[in-house]
Amino acid sequence: MSWTRKILRVNLSKGTCTPEALNMDWAKAYLGQRGLASKYLVEEVDPTCDALGPDNKLIMATGPLTGTMASTAGRYSVVCKSPLTGAIAASNSGGFLGAEMKFAGWDMIIFEGKSEKPVYLLMQDDKVELRSADAIWGKSAWETDDILHATHQDPQMRIACIGRTAEAGCLYAAVMNDKHRAAGRSGVGTVMASKNLKAVAIRGTGGIGNLEDAKKFMDAVDAGKQVLADGAVTGQGLPIYGTQVLMNVINGVGGLPAHNMRDVGFEGAGDISAEAMAEPRKSDGKPNLTTNAGCFACTIACGRISTVDKTHFSVKDKPQYHGASGGLEYEAAWALGADTGVSDLDALTYVNFLCNEDGFDPITFGATVAAAMEMFGDGDLTTDDTDGIELKFGSAEALVAITELLVTGEGFAKDLGQGSKRLCDKYKRPELSMTVKSQEFPAYDPRGIQGIGLNYATSNRGACHLRGYTVASEVLGIPVKTEQNDAEGKPELVKAFQDATAVVDSAGLCLFTTFAWGMDNIAPQIDAACEGDWSVEGCLEAGERIWNMERIFNQAAGFTADDDKLPKRMLNEAIKGGPTDGQVSRLGEMLPKYYEIRGWNPQGEVTAETRKRLSL
Amino acid sequence: MQKSLHIDPGKCTGCLQCEMACSYEHTGTFNPSRSYIKVFTFHDEGRFAPYTCTQCDEAWCQRACPVDAISVDMMTGAKVVSDDKCVGCKVCTIACPFGTINYSQATGKVVKCDLCGGDPECAKACPTAAITYVDADWTGYDRMMASAAKSLPSAEATT
């Protein structure tokens, strides 16, 4: 069966922890993790509620495959209403915490209400209790992790927690686990902080058995692992270079935005690429990259573990950053680097360490700094506004200084912590915020790659590549090559990617498997582990159901077709130079067709027929 | 031919596939807390090290056991614990210099690697060949070859 069939409801207002049976009818329709937690959220939370008020709920949920031997099956999601976007948030993380929750015997934890004082949840198999967080409130995520391990004298304990940015009200704070894995986007950490919940510490010893068909499952798992090992991206590209393998590729095809997306193409891309990470540094003869690392059960191991040169200006007098830690992934390297024009690899790595140490989304943070830099260059912001920091494109010193400031939550950090939408509104340059539904773009320019622009515009959690990674098809040719610059066929492509992604995100698996796996590799693993119809068709229908459910939540929260739009810069300011010279996003051509094939009306609303077809 | 588990920590990514395979083989559940092989993470060094019983020829655990619960599997050379005989006294866990035989609260017995009867699941599950099952005489072969390669005169020196 693979689900533990048990969820924990934690009422923080009352201080109670209550076990409940998992709603199996919902599990069979929404699978787990993102889909199933969203179903609970939709049923229990008023979409118009204040995201940072006690009526919002925070759900940490595993998938049915989480904790099994299926490759990458260690994922969990954090689901709530987002304070950054006001839309539904579902942020996905790897590491080891999700599997530990399953081993402790739980599918999901629902946090509701708000604790009067800071607390953390201690979960040791069946034994669950809320404890005072006095010793860890005000500490970074890394310190919190160390203190809880020491307190409970248990090196095997897995910990998810928030850092100081969440406590300071930064709207894009992450929930960190295992020190450098993050449920990173949409401010799910901020919601956790709003509930006075500092951490969740889990130790599980029960394991997972009772698969629906164990023999069939192990055969499907072995076959799946072989496909990943044989895949060019999953077997070679990602383990050797990490997601950073994309930096030179995307720059080469005219899809890498730079300088708050004013430009496409970044002259420093090579200096901050995977290849640069592997090269010995001139300064100390050692490479930035120390090793690669896998999350739980992952046979790809794309994770980067990096070390900064001890004499680098950013860490020179800070021995606590001289050891190895979570290194740059592509999105972080882009947002912190190309988007701000900074090409100092070690500075970016240090800033990435800080993103992990205090739990905030490097994409939104980097993009917000980039917007501030553009305003600084235009004179909308001066050093009077920025606590004296010369916020110029390309300045590694400014980036380091502003990141260290963000953690304090003081001065200009208060503005920065609101994200680029609110920052640009405040300084009267709303057109400079590169966002959809108030969430910042990741590292692919929607003018240079048409499908990803439609995906950004329609993503249920605001601009995000992880809702429908059409770049796989449009650039890498996976599963089939489509032309970057074609608008035709992209609505169908975006829908197919979005629905399939919802399945992967709900199963407990990592989306990166889809660089080699199709649904015909994924469905048999789910089907062998779980009761219910998890054929390819059954899976994809669940994916479509999940997508529409999220859309309906957002509609009820007040979102309309007017929110499915891209910034004017993407629609009107053509790319200058390079392989995509002259292009703009042709969102207007794609959106009506997308609504039509989704079964929505021209206003982008889910129709009664579609609801009925998907049993919504 | 006797074979041994050969562990190359430099290749390990810390994914725990070995722990899952081990626990599944021995308990029928995916449960790293009951795996006989453990992967240790050395965070600040960015290193991972799988570790398990090396199957000593003159096994200290076997010598220490007061009830002769540990015997040699004649096919594989593995030192195997008999659950029927083990009384859970833990003397073997004190005797073992490597800490690779351990008491299990779940069973009340000690548990250790038994080489899965000659087909170790950990080695099969490892995606990076950090764990392999090789001719027992040649567990040092890789390192020996790497050292030998270093002893070669450099390409420039020979031309």
Tokens of A75: 């994922």
- What are the tens digits of pLDDT across the range A373-416? 999 999 999 999 999 999 999 999 999 999 999 999 999 999 99
Residue ranges per domain, chain A? 6-203, 247-439, 446-515+535-613
Compute CA distances A182 → A359, B41, B136, whole Å: 8, 19, 42
The CA distance from A187 to A58, in Å, is 11
The amino acid that residue A36 corresponds to is L
Cβ contacts of B69 within 8 Å, gap of 6 or more: B81, B82, B85, B86, B87, B110
* Per-residue pLDDT at A7 exceeds 60: yes
Q: Cβ–Cβ of A208/B29 closer than 8 Å? A: yes
- How far is B57 from chain A, CA to nearest CA, in Å? 31
Q: How many CB atoms are located within 10 Å of the residue A155 CB?
A: 9
Quote the minimal CA–CA distance from A142 to chain B in Å.
Answer: 12
B62 and B38 within one domain? no
Top CATH class of A446-515+535-613 equals mainly alpha
Predicted pLDDT at A109: 98
Distances (CA, A) of A253 to A250, A301, A484, A569, A579: 5, 26, 9, 20, 6
Q: Report if residue B128 sits inside a domain.
A: yes
Residues of B in contact with A239 (CB under 8 A): 13
Residue of B nearest to A157 (CA): B33
Domain count, chain B: 2
Q: What is the pLDDT of residues A395-405, one digit of tens each?
A: 999 999 999 99
A297, A68 in Cβ contact below 8 A? Answer: yes
Identify the band that residue B154 occupies on the pLDDT scale cut at 50, 70 and 90: confident
- Asked if the Cβ–Cβ distance from B31 to A179 is below 8 Å, we say no
> B15 vs A323: CB contact, 8 Å cut-off?
no
Q: What is the mean pLDDT of chain B?
A: 95
Residue B156 covered by a domain: no
Residues B43 and B24 both lie in one domain: yes
Judge if B4 and B47 occupy the same domain.
yes
In a 3-state reduction of DSSP, which class is residue A514?
A: helix
CB nearest B23 (choices: A207, A225, A298): A207
Confidence of residue B47 (pLDDT cuts 50, 70, 90): very high
- What tens digit of pLDDT does each residue of A273-283 get? 999 999 999 99
Distance CA A288, CA A194 (A): 37
Q: Which of A453, A471, A446, A483 is nearest to A574 (CA)?
A: A446
CA proximity to A586, closest of A471, A484, A462, A443: A484
What residues of A are in contact with residue B21 (Cβ under 8 Å)?
69
| pLDDT of A311 strictly over 90 | yes
Non-local CB neighbours of A15 within 8 Å, separated by 6+ positions = A115, A119, A130
B10: closest chain A residue by CA: A291
How much of chain A exceeds pLDDT 90, in percent? Answer: 99
Cα–Cα distances in angstroms (integers) from residue A533 to residues A36, A460, A525, A536, in the given order: 16, 26, 12, 9
Chain B residues with CB-CB distance to A295 below 8 A: 15
Is it the case that residue B155 has pLDDT exceeding 70?
no
Of A233, A254, A256, A232, the residue nearest A243 (C-alpha): A233
Q: Is the pLDDT of residue B157 over 60?
A: no
- The C-alpha of B9 sits at a distance from chain A's nearest C-alpha, in angstroms, of 12
pLDDT band at A429 (very low <50, low <70, confident <90, very high): very high
Residues of the domain holding B31: 1-52+117-144
Measured CA to CA, the distance from residue A88 to residue A185 in angstroms comes to 11
CATH code at B91? 3.30.70.20
pLDDT tens, A22-54?
999 999 999 999 999 999 999 999 999 999 999
Nearest chain B alpha carbon to A146: B43
Question: Is residue B151 domain-resident?
Answer: no
Q: Is A611 helix (H, G, I), strand (E, B) or coil?
A: helix
Interface test with A, best of B12, B24, B26, B30 (most A CBs within 10 A): B30
Sign of CA dihedral A456, A458, A459, A461: positive
Q: What residue type is assigned to position A185 of the chain?
A: R
Which tokens go with A301? 């191991």
Look at residue A25 in the predicted model and tell me its pLDDT.
Answer: 97
Question: Across all residues in chain A, what is the average pLDDT?
Answer: 97
Mean pLDDT of A354-375: 98
Residue B47, min C-alpha distance to chain A (Å): 8
| DSSP β-bridge partners for residue A264 | A257
For residue A69, give the chain B residue with the closest CA.
Answer: B20
Nearest to B13 among A69, A208, A293 (CB): A293
Q: Is A287 on the interface with B (CB under 8 A)?
A: no
Q: Is the ipTM of this complex over 0.85?
A: yes
Q: In this complex, is the C-beta atom of A226 within 8 Å of any C-beta atom belonging to chain B?
A: no
As a whole number of angstroms, the distance between CA A60 and CA A158 comes to 14
Q: Spell out the SS3 assignment of A430-469.
A: HHHCCEECCEECCCCCCCCCHHHHHHHHHCCCCCCHHHCC
Instruction: Evaluate if residue B91 carries a pLDDT over 70.
Output: yes
Interface of A with B in 86-105 (CB under 8 A): 96, 99, 103
- Residue that is written with structure tokens 């540094």 in the block: A281
Chain A residues whose CB is inside 8 A of the B23 CB are 207
> Do the Cβ atoms of A26 and A7 come closer than 8 Å?
no
Mutate to test the interface with B, among A68, A69, A213, A289 (most CBs of B within 10 A): A69
pLDDT one-digit tens code per residue, A118-169: 999 999 999 999 999 999 999 999 999 999 999 999 999 999 999 999 999 9
CA distance linking residue B94 with residue A287, whole number of Å: 42
Amino acid A1: pLDDT: 59
Contacts with A305 from chain B: Cβ below 8 Å: 46
Domain presence at residue B93: yes
Quickly name the fold that domain A6-203 has. Aldehyde Ferredoxin Oxidoreductase;  A, domain 1 (3.60.9)
Secondary structure class of A600 (helix, strand, coil): strand
Other Cβ atoms within 10 Å of A487 Cβ, number: 18
How far, CA to CA in Å, does A144 sit from each of A120, A152, A238, A509? 11, 12, 30, 27
Residues B69 and B37 in one domain: no
DSSP A598: H
Domain match, B15 and B27 both: yes
CA–CA dist A139, A148 (Å, integer): 11
A217-273 pLDDT per residue, tens:
999 999 999 999 999 999 999 999 999 999 999 999 999 999 999 999 999 999 999
B33/A294 touch (CB, cutoff 8 Å), yes or no: no
Non-local CB neighbours of A322 within 8 Å, separated by 6+ positions: A307, A308, A310, A315
Token digits for A502? Answer: 């919802």
Count A/B contacts: CB-CB distance under 8 Å.
89
Per-residue b/e over A363-390, b at no fewer than 16 CB within 10 Å? bbbbbbbbbbbbbbeeebbeeebbeebe
Q: Which fold has domain A247-439?
A: 1.10.569
Q: How far is B58 from chain A (nearest CA, A)?
A: 31
Backbone angles phi, psi at A292, to 5 degrees: -100, 160
Q: What is the pLDDT of residue B142?
A: 85
Which of A225, A299, A300, A357 would best serve as a mutation to test chain B binding (most B beta carbons within 10 A)? Answer: A299
| Pairwise CA distance, residues A297 & A147, whole Å | 26
Residue A108 phi/psi, 5-degree rounding, is -160, 150
Of A67, A68, A291, the CB nearest to B47: A291
Mean pLDDT of B107-121: 97
Q: What is the pLDDT of residue A210?
A: 82
Task: Tell whether A298 lies on the interface with B, counting CB pairs under 8 A.
Answer: yes
Residues B82, B60 within the same domain: yes
A80 phi/psi in degrees, rounded to 5? -170, 180
Residue window 327-346, chain A: list those with CB within 8 Å of chain B: none
Q: SS3 string of chain B?
A: CCEEEEECHHHCCCCCHHHHHHHHHHHCCECHHHCCCEEEEEHHHCEEEEECCCCCCCCHHHHHCCCCCEEECCCCCCEEECCCCCCCCCHHHHHCCCCCCEEECCCCEEECCCHHHCCCHHHHHCCCCCEEEEEHHHCCHHHHHHHHHHHCCCHHHHC
**Separation CA A456–CA A35 (nearest Å):** 20
**CB–CB of A301 and B127 under 8 A?**
yes
